[in-house]
């Protein structure tokens, strides 16, 4: 074990390499200044120390075999970046004095007392990976959560609040947002009447005109975006939005290149076997239409939850044409008839005129099984030459549905297999048979029922 308990900087270090089975322990305040890489195959105890990357140029690597916990982490390079090669945790401060920290797909977790300090042009970035912090926000006043760049004010108690900062641009309709977004998830997420200040760095503009920046929000993890406005302060690199009653995912994009289609509502209701989907768009840009997709999630004995992991693949069940270009709200609906009992997920595939597409978040409903066995009256009756027979199964069972003539002879077998609980229909085509009275008989476990039907040519 190597122990560093000094109160002076070790500024001559070129790199640090902790071998497998070794431990570097900082028992007091120490500043390790590195112009080279950090490699840890063993164990590191940070104490109250600071690790500063101050290489002259190029990329310095942070290689940690099983993740790493630092107290303070600083980047103060003359040029270039520091690049993560695995997840890390910081319990003190992350200070970007000069140079950048490239997440490189890694996760930077900020401890309960940790904070980020950035200077203009010297930031944490990365098209993959994110920074995350959890804070208790009780009636916060201008709270810059963990220094991440989102300031929240609200008279409400948000409770434990999960804040994630990402740098992958939001996209939609061929347009992109800036290279920064926030996901905010508080325990209490209704009736907040909050004010949000979104801070950005000019290095994140992603080619957009700064004077055109406006806020967008997403409630489906970036699948669709809604423009919500906000007041831009280009001098301080902020966009302020008041009257926020709930938090979700936020980014900024140019008003001249918005992120369509802006889906603001997606709801579901079910009556017996009819599931009605309703959705509303705020605006649409080159919208061709919406494919409705469905998949079975699980059996009806489990409660419905949003965004569960379904057990079957998505399948298209319908299409609704879009508005093309629209600057005002549009409402849509679609009814899907599902017969087999179970919990189902639905989503919208939003297709643009040029063939590009994106998905909404999924919502779920339950088709409850019938309470008892039933054989319903056929319709139409009399009929020529086809009629529909409906029946209901409260549980999975083998079903035999057979047609007999007036002399008791079997003339058709409509169903002969095991079926899960649900609502079913079978079509009887009497073409080629003589007019007259016929009978249909169902056997489903112990349930046996016979009814009449009349074929009239």
361-373 residue pLDDT tens: 788 898 888 999 9
Q: Band of the pLDDT at 3, cuts 50, 70, 90?
A: very low
Residue pair 187/160 in contact (Cβ under 8 Å)? The answer is yes
pLDDT tens for 333-346 read: 999 988 888 889 99
Residue 78 has pLDDT above 60, yes or no: yes
Beta bridge partners of 39: 17, 63
Class of residue 99 by CB neighbours under 10 A (exposed 0-12, middle 13-18, buried 19+): buried
Residue-averaged pLDDT of the chain: 87
Side-chain-facing half-sphere of 78: CA atoms under 13 Å: 6
Residue 420 has pLDDT above 80, yes or no: yes
Strands 88-90 and 107-110: parallel
Residue 243 has pLDDT above 50, yes or no: yes
Which pLDDT score, from 0 to 100, does residue 237 have? 97
* CA angle centred on 118, ends 115 and 120, rounded to 5°: 165
Q: What is the DSSP string of 302-365?
A: SPP-TT---SS--EEEEEEEEEEEESS-EEEEEEEE--B-EEEEEEEEEEETTS-EEEPPPEEE
Higher pLDDT, 41 or 394: 394
Lowest mean pLDDT among 88-92, 148-152, 264-268, 287-291: 264-268
Cβ-Cβ contacts under 8 Å for 255 (sequence gap 6 or more): 212, 213, 214, 227
Q: What is the DSSP string of 65-95?
A: BTBEEESEEEEEEEEEEEEESS-EEESSEEE
Give CA separation, 340 vs 207, 376, 391, 396, 420, in Å.
Answer: 51, 17, 12, 10, 7
Residue 203 has pLDDT above 70, yes or no: yes
Q: Across residues 437-457, what is the average pLDDT?
A: 96
What is d(CA 233, CA 239) in angstroms, rounded to the nearest whole number?
6
Backbone angles phi, psi at 421, to 5 degrees: -55, 140
Q: Across residues 130-157, what is the average pLDDT?
A: 97
Residue 5 has pLDDT above 50, yes or no: no
Which pLDDT score, from 0 to 100, does residue 125 have? 95
**Max CA-CA distance within the chain?**
106
Q: Across residues 21-36, what is the average pLDDT?
A: 80
Backbone angles phi, psi at 203, to 5 degrees: -70, -10
* CA angle centred on 225, ends 221 and 227, rounded to 5°: 140
Q: Across residues 128-149, what is the average pLDDT?
A: 96
Residue 300 has pLDDT above 60, yes or no: no
The alpha carbon of 389 is separated from its chain's Cα centroid by a whole number of angstroms, namely 42
Q: Band of the pLDDT at 1, cuts 50, 70, 90?
A: very low
Residue 454 has pLDDT above 90, yes or no: yes
The alpha carbon of 64 is separated from its chain's Cα centroid by a whole number of angstroms, namely 29
Which pLDDT score, from 0 to 100, does residue 258 have? 62
pLDDT tens for 40-67 read: 888 888 788 899 999 988 899 998 866 7
Lowest mean pLDDT among 43-57, 230-244, 347-361, 425-439: 347-361
Residue 308 has pLDDT above 50, yes or no: no
The pTM assigned to this predicted structure is 0.58
Which pLDDT score, from 0 to 100, does residue 64 have? 82
Residue 191 has pLDDT above 80, yes or no: yes
Beta bridge partners of 280: 265, 331
Going along the chain from its start, the domains and CATH numbers come out as 2-188 (no CATH), 263-367 (2.60.40.10), 374-455 (2.60.40.1930)
Which pLDDT score, from 0 to 100, does residue 27 have? 66
Higher pLDDT, 14 or 135: 135
What is d(CA 392, CA 371) in angstroms, rounded to the nearest whole number?
9
Backbone angles phi, psi at 210, to 5 degrees: -60, -35
Which pLDDT score, from 0 to 100, does residue 260 have? 59
Higher pLDDT, 67 or 192: 192
Residue 82 has which token pair?
């520091």
Residue 432 has which token pair?
């080629």
Residue pair 360/266 in contact (Cβ under 8 Å)? The answer is yes
Which pLDDT score, from 0 to 100, does residue 173 have? 64
What is d(CA 322, CA 332) in angstroms, rounded to the nearest whole number?
9
């Amino acid at each position: 074990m190597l122990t560093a308990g000094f109160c002076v900087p070790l500024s001559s270090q070129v790199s640090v390499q902790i071998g497998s089975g070794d431990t570097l322990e900082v028992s007091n305040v120490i500043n390790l200044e590195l112009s080279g890489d950090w490699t840890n195959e063993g164990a590191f105890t940070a104490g109250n120390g600071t690790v500063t990357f101050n290489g002259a140029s190029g990329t310095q690597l942070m290689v940690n075999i099983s993740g790493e916990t630092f107290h303070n982490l600083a980047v103060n390079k003359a040029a270039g970046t520091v690049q993560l090669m695995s997840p890390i945790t910081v319990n003190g401060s992350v200070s970007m004095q000069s140079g950048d920290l490239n997440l490189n797909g890694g996760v930077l977790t900020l401890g309960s007392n940790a904070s980020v300090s950035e200077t203009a042009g010297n930031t944490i970035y990365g098209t993959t990976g994110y920074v995350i912090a959890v804070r208790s926000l009780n009636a916060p006043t201008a709270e810059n959560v963990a220094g991440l760049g989102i300031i929240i004010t609200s008279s409400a108690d948000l409770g434990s609040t999960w804040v994630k900062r990402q740098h992958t641009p939001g996209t939609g309709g061929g347009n992109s947002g800036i290279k920064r977004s926030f996901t905010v998830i508080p325990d209490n997420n209704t009736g907040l009447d909050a004010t949000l200040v979104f801070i950005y760095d000019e290095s994140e503009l992603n080619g957009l005109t700064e004077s055109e920046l406006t806020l967008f929000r997403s409630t489906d993890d970036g699948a669709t975006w809604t423009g919500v406005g906000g007041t831009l302060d280009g001098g301080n690199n902020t966009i302020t939005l008041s009257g926020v009653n709930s938090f979700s995912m936020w980014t900024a994009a140019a008003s001249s290149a918005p992120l369509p289609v802006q889906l603001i509502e997606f709801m579901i209701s079910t009556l017996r076997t009819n599931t009605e989907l309703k959705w509303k768009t705020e605006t649409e840009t080159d919208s061709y239409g919406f494919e409705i997709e469905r998949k079975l999630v699980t059996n009806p004995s489990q409660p419905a939850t949003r965004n569960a992991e379904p057990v079957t693949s998505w399948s298209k069940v319908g299409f609704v044409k879009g508005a093309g270009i629209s600057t005002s709200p549009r409402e849509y609906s679609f009814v899907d008839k599902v017969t087999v009992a179970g919990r189902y997920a639905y989503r919208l595939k939003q297709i643009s005129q040029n063939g590009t597409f994106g998905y909404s978040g999924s919502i779920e409903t339950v088709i409850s099984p019938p309470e008892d066995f039933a054989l319903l009256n056929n319709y139409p009756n009399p009929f020529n030459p086809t009629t529909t027979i409906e029946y209901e199964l409260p549980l999975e069972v083998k079903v035999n549905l057979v047609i007999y003539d007036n002399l008791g002879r079997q003339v058709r077998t409509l169903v002969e297999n095991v079926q899960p609980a649900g609502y079913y229909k079978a079509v009887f085509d009497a073409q080629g048979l003589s007019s007259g009275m016929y009978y249909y008989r169902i056997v489903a476990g112990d349930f046996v029922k016979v009814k009449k039907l009349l074929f009239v040519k």
